[in-house]
Amino acid sequence: MRLLNLIYEDSYFLAVDKPSGILSVPGKGEDKKDCMLIRIQEEFPNALLVHRLDMDTSGIMLFARSPEVQRELSMQFERRSIKKTYIAWIEGRLGLDEGEVDLPLRKDMSQALPPCHVVDLEQGKPAQTKWRVSERKDERTRVILHPLTGRSHQLRVHMQSLGHPIVGDPIYGVPDKRLMLHAHGLNLDHPVHGDRIELESVSPF
């Protein structure tokens, strides 16, 4: 039994704090079996995946405790009624205090490993991210990120597009001890009761 950091638990769903460096679901190969889904199913056998975080990203993940709740929470993500907040440190000092990136993204099929995404104004899928500076320190900036869409690597590519990649990004920036990106908050409707719930995970940086 491995220790889980539960943020929220009731009869319908769970919110868990995922560490950086752990997969959301199993990957290919024996060395990629360990993941959040298997870890949580060791304690909650009926837990079902609702969404994923990149392996290098830490923070809140949701797991449903029935197929019905899984569908409802998944639909909230699709309808974009779940409000997501991330915290990140980025390279360099942003001049403005807030802004929005509106750049469509697509997967770069010319590069198999590691999988990456690029801005494509013609064939990319719509992607929008709002950002706000919370701190400037030396040659780095701490930002609060609100993705309005949910594309793969969206925050990482959008920050790179500003000329300020996320600190420690091994694909879009310079590798470091860890990717400084944390899923800090989720604001959602309870899948059964309908009450609005605000979940938060304290950023480790």
φ, ψ for residue 192, nearest 5 deg? -115, -50
Please report the sign of the dihedral spanned by the C-alpha atoms of residue 103, residue 49, residue 15, residue 25. Answer: negative
Looking at CATH, the fold of the domain delimited by 6-200 is given as Pseudouridine synthase (3.30.2350)
Condensed to tens digits (0 to 9), the pLDDT of residues 101-158 reads 999 999 998 876 778 999 999 999 999 999 999 999 999 999 999 999 999 999 999 9
Rounded (10°) CA dihedral 171, 175, 178, 179: -40
Specify the amino acid at residue 127. A
Asked whether residue 27 carries a pLDDT value surpassing 90, the answer given is: no
Residue in 54, 56, 97, 120 annotated catalytic: 54
Mean per-residue pLDDT for 39-51?
97
pLDDT band, very low/low/confident/very high, at 90 (cuts 50, 70, 90): very high
Token pair in block for residue 182: 């944390």
pLDDT band, very low/low/confident/very high, at 2 (cuts 50, 70, 90): low
Tokens 């719509």, residue located: 126
CA atoms of 114 and 9, how far apart (whole Å): 35
Contact present, 105 and 123 (Cβ < 8 Å): no
Closest by CA to 56, choosing from 16, 11, 24, is 24
Active site includes 10?
Answer: no
CA atoms of 145 and 180, how far apart (whole Å): 12
Whole-structure pTM value: 0.94
Asked whether residue 177 carries a pLDDT value surpassing 70, the answer given is: yes
CA atoms of 55 and 57, how far apart (whole Å): 6
CA of 121: how far to CAs of 127, 129, 153, 159, in Å?
11, 16, 16, 16
- In 75-204, the DSSP E strands lie at 83-91, 98-102, 105-107, 117-119, 128-137, 140-147, 181-189, 196-200
Cis peptide leading into residue 114 (ω within 30°):
yes
